[in-house]
Structure 1
Amino acid sequence: MLAVNYTTLRDNMKTYMDKITDDYETMIVTRKDNKNVVMLSEESYNNMMENIYVMGNKSNYDWLMESKTQLENGMVSTHDLPEVEADE
């Protein structure tokens, strides 16, 4: 996680935004009176919101945990998928 003050961010906005999006960094922008802001990429934000939604639903959470346990215990199988023509 990066931390930068507002003035430095403003002077180097493109560089910091590229670092956030390209390197999946999260940045704290420090401001007066401790009114800080967190910056993250849209991709990271969407991922976080999806995780909050999935993990916030007990049925989804239980299903994921059961699947994880099955995977860890080697209870998996593989299947070949049929080829599909481009015009189908």
Structure 2
Amino acid sequence: MDAVGISNFRRNLREYVQKVNDNSDPLIVTSQNSDDNVVVMSKRDYDSMQETMAVLSNMYLMNKIQRGDAQFAAGKGQVHELNENFDDD
């Protein structure tokens, strides 16, 4: 993760925003007071992170995932062929 000073970030805002969106790499914007530092990330990555946090905080769903993992590890899983025929004909 790259870091840039707030003054440089302000001068080149459009460039940094484009870079963050193109690379999906968050950017640390630093200030003289480290308590004022921020991280800039793409909306797409932010949404993904929020969805992951929602899944991880849902105990019912996490229990189902863990139960499925245990069943698969115990050899109770089934492998299915992917049907790639999406024609409506």
Bin the TM-score by the shorter chain.
0.7 to 0.9
In structure 1, C-alpha distance between the alignment counterparts of 2:74 and 2:49, rounded to whole Å = 24
Question: What is the percentage of aligned positions where both structures have the same residue?
Answer: 23
Counterpart of 1:75 in structure 2: which amino acid?
Answer: G
Aligned ranges 1:42-61 → 2 under 5 Å: 42-61=43-62
Unaligned runs of 5+ in 1: none
Aligned ranges 1:1-88 → 2 under 5 Å: 1-34=1-34, 35-69=36-70, 70=72, 75-79=77-81, 81=83, 83=86, 85=88
In structure 2, C-alpha distance between the alignment counterparts of 1:71 and 1:32, rounded to whole Å = 51
Q: Give secondary structure in 2 for the equivalent of 1:9.
A: helix
Residues 10 and 72 of structure 1: CA distance in aligned 2, closer, same or farther (over 3 Å): farther
Q: TM-score, normalised by structure 2?
A: 0.77
In structure 2, C-alpha distance between the alignment counterparts of 1:76 and 1:21, rounded to whole Å = 38
Q: Give secondary structure in 2 for the equivalent of 1:75.
A: coil
In structure 1, C-alpha distance between the alignment counterparts of 2:11 and 2:69, rounded to whole Å = 46
RMSD: 2.5
Q: TM-score, normalised by structure 1?
A: 0.78
- Cα distance, 1:83 vs. partner? 4.3
Unaligned runs of 5+ in 2: none
Residues 78 and 41 of structure 1: CA distance in aligned 2, closer, same or farther (over 3 Å): same
Runs (4 or more) in structure 1 with deviation over 4 Å come to 71-74, 79-84
